[in-house]
Every structure is written in C-alpha cells, then in structure tokens.
Amino acid sequence: MRIAVLMGGMSKEREVSLNSGTAVTQALLRKGYEAVSIDAAEDVAGKLKAVKPDLVFIALHGRYGEDGAIQGLLEVMGLPYTGSGVACSAVCMDKVLTKKLLVADGIPTAPFMVINKGLYHNSRSAIHAQIMNDLGLPVVIKPATQGSSIGTTIVREESVLAAALEEALTMSDQALAEKFIAGVEVTASVLGNEEPVVLPLIEIEAAKGFYDYEAKYTPGGSAHVIPARIAEDAAKKVSAIAKQIYVSFNCLGFSRIDFIIDSSGQPWVLEVNTIPGMTGLSLFPDAAAHVGMGYDDLVEAVVKLAVDFWKVG
Ligand SMILES: Nc1ncnc2c1ncn2[C@@H]1O[C@H](COP(=O)(O)OP(=O)(O)O)[C@@H](O)[C@H]1O
Ligand SMILES: [Mg+2]
C-alpha cells in the first residue's frame, strides 16, 4: 500500500507537524508500507496527483490541516485519509463551536464568552467590563482557531486584558474568554472508530506553571505523569466524557481531549485535538506505550482504522 504522509503545511504549527510527519513516515517504512512524505505548504493537490497514494496520512496540525480544509480537498480528489472527517475536524479546530456543542451535550466546559473582532474594536471597554463581571480574574484568553497554546494568555491583571484580546484577535476572527480553572491538567488519548478505546490518562506538569508553546516543545518544559494523580472517580469521569465526546462529535481514528480537574474532582473539558502531536515525545504515543503499543504499532493502528473506514483495497 502506498501512503502519502502530509506534513508541514502553512499553519503556525508547521515545525511541530514536520516532526510528527517525519516520525510517521519512518514508522510506516519500518512497517513495510511504501511511504512518501509530502510538504503540504504549496501545490498539495499537484503533489498528491503525482504520488497517487492509496491512502493519505494527515500529519498536519492547525489551520489547513486539522480544520477540515485538507480533508475536504481529499474528499473531492477521492483520496481516503486518516483521522476525522470534514465536519468533525472543522468543529474541533474552532474552540467556540466546540464549546457550544459541549454545552448542547451537557458536558462540563468552563464558562466562557465569545468576543468577535469587529464588535471588540467598537466597544472595547464594555467588553472588558463584561469579562470582569461575568468571568472575573484570572481569565484565559485564546483565539478560536489556533493550537499549541499560540495566542493564549492567562490574564491575572485587568491591565493586560486588552493586549491579550488584541493578540488573540490577530490570529482568529473570534476570541474566547474562559474562566480560569485551577487544578490538574489531564489529557485523554482516544483510539478507534465506532468503538473507541481511551488510553491511559496523562497528567501534564508544566515546569513553569502554564503549558504554553515552550513548555510543550522544549525538552524539560513539561513532564508527563502516568498514571495521572487524580482520584479514581475523577479518572473514570474523564474517560467516560472523552468517549462520549468522541462518539458525539464523530471523531475517527484518533483524537486527544484536554481536561482540567478542579479541586473537587470535577473534570472540565478544554478542547478536542483531532490530529494529536505524533513526535516521538508527544502525549498520544506516550499513552499508547503505556499499554504496550509502540510508536510504529500506533501509526499502523491509525492506518488500519482508516483502511476499515474507507474500505481501502
Ligand atoms: N480555562 C482554563 N483554565 C486554566 N488553564 C487553561 C484554561 N484554558 C487553557 N488553559 C491552559 O492553556 C493551555 C492551552 O489551552 P487549550 O485550550 O488546550 O488550547 P491549545 O492546546 O489548542 O492551544 C492548556 O493546556 C492549559 O494549560
Ligand atoms: Mg490543548
């Protein structure tokens, strides 16, 4: 089977994706597949036409890769691909849409406000007042459609609220103001199609307190703690919620769902990552390793789930 691995691309997470894609390509080659990596930065349709793959492994993160855009292109080209479809990808890349669906499903997610770029520029002080009044400090400001903590600020003083919103709104037409949840950060790695399996939860300990871009990708910036140091009851709730979201949102292949568990043991969902990082040091492969599934086996499992779904071959 010939598999094209899409990597790189045009998003702010290009570098991470190049690492994910290179590792995936090497794993596929070791598993005996004919793997060809493609940088999706330009002319991706032309490159795919030249390679003629049986399946496309999408190792892209962020915009144009994780947001349904590339999935839509592949659908139109008639090429089967790994992971979630167009609608699920688009929803999960957009934290505002994600939260609206979580609320509709009755799944706990932190109280929030949506700030539209145009409205913000016309009524800054009213919006600041509303955030202070409804959510209070600290408050987390993030762009609706960005990953890897890029553009995300934990605002602890009102004086930096405006700068945080301005920054988030340079990256997305909508910003999210979210109540800060103090607690233990945990991520749930989910693998499967109709009958997904939740791999061991990983607690994330950021060396400097905030799991920002640097903490995510600098060696020593953060530690993975398995098993997560949360009560058994809380862990059960997280796994159940992760599975519920996966099925409700129609995730396919794999996804990683981020949570914070507050001091009462209540889990709050932060977001759904439909193309989790797949570098050798990433969270998802680490969770798989703890059930004895090595990196290459994980990559092959994702391929097999796509083969099943698309009935390739
Ligand atoms: N409501 C919140 N309360 C506390 N910390 C948060 C909150 N939202 C985000 N964070 C912190 O910011 C990080 C990035 O936020 P997240 O919603 O997962 O977006 P992404 O990983 O796509 O950038 C989280 O891993 C967490 O450390
Ligand atoms: Mg996250």
What is the Å distance from ligand 1's center to 140 Cα?
8
**C-beta of residue 146 within 8 angstroms of C-beta of residue 12:** yes
pLDDT tens digits, one per residue of 180-221: 999 999 999 999 999 999 999 999 999 888 899 999 898 889
> In this structure, how many other beta carbons lie within 10 angstroms of the beta carbon of residue 74?
23
Domain co-membership, 185 together with 290: yes
pTM of the complete model beyond 0.95: yes
Domain co-membership, 189 together with 159: no
CATH number for the domain harbouring residue 121: 3.30.1490.20
For residue 181, give the ligand 1 atom closest to its CA.
3
| Pocket lining for ligand 1, CB < 6 angstroms | 110, 140, 147-149, 152, 178-181, 185, 210-211, 258, 260, 270-271
Ligand nearest to the CA of 112: 1
Which of the residues 37, 148, 149, 222 is marked catalytic?
A: 148
Domain co-membership, 208 together with 250: yes
Please state, rounded to an integer, the average pLDDT across all residues of the chain: 96
Q: Environment class of residue 93 by beta-carbon count within 10 Å: exposed (0-12), middle (13-18) or buried (19+)?
A: buried
Which of the residues 256, 282, 286, 300 is marked catalytic?
A: 256
**C-beta of residue 266 within 8 angstroms of C-beta of residue 185:** no
The answer to whether residue 232 scores a pLDDT higher than 90 is yes
Give the range of the structural domain holding residue 277, as residue numbers without chain letter.
91-108+181-310
Query: Is residue 133 among the annotated active site residues?
Result: no
CATH number for the domain harbouring residue 289: 3.30.470.20
For residue 179, give the ligand 1 atom closest to its CA.
1
Any residues with CB less than 8 A from the CB of 82 and at least 6 apart, and which?
55, 56, 57, 58, 253, 302, 303, 305, 306
Q: Give the separation between CA 253 and CA 64, rounded to whole angstroms.
A: 19
Domain co-membership, 172 together with 103: no
Domain co-membership, 167 together with 190: no
Q: Residue 249's pLDDT is what?
A: 98
Domain co-membership, 228 together with 153: no
Q: Give the separation between CA 24 and CA 27, rounded to whole angstroms.
A: 5
Query: Is residue 193 among the annotated active site residues?
Result: no
What are the phi and psi torsion angles at 185 (to 5°)? -90, 130
Which has more pLDDT, 149 or 31? 31
Q: Residue 280's pLDDT is what?
A: 86
Q: Residue 207's pLDDT is what?
A: 85
Domain co-membership, 159 together with 288: no
Q: Residue 313's pLDDT is what?
A: 85
Number of domains in the chain: 3
Query: Is residue 256 among the annotated active site residues?
Result: yes
Query: Is residue 271 among the annotated active site residues?
Result: yes
Domain co-membership, 103 together with 120: no
The answer to whether residue 151 scores a pLDDT higher than 90 is yes
Any residues with CB less than 8 A from the CB of 210 and at least 6 apart, and which?
149, 154
Domain co-membership, 117 together with 27: no
Which has more pLDDT, 306 or 219? 306
**In percent, how much of the chain has pLDDT > 90?**
92
Domain co-membership, 78 together with 21: yes
Domain co-membership, 131 together with 258: no
Q: Residue 281's pLDDT is what?
A: 86
Over range 149-176, report the average pLDDT. Answer: 96
pLDDT tens digits, one per residue of 116-134: 999 999 999 999 999 999 9
Domain co-membership, 104 together with 117: no
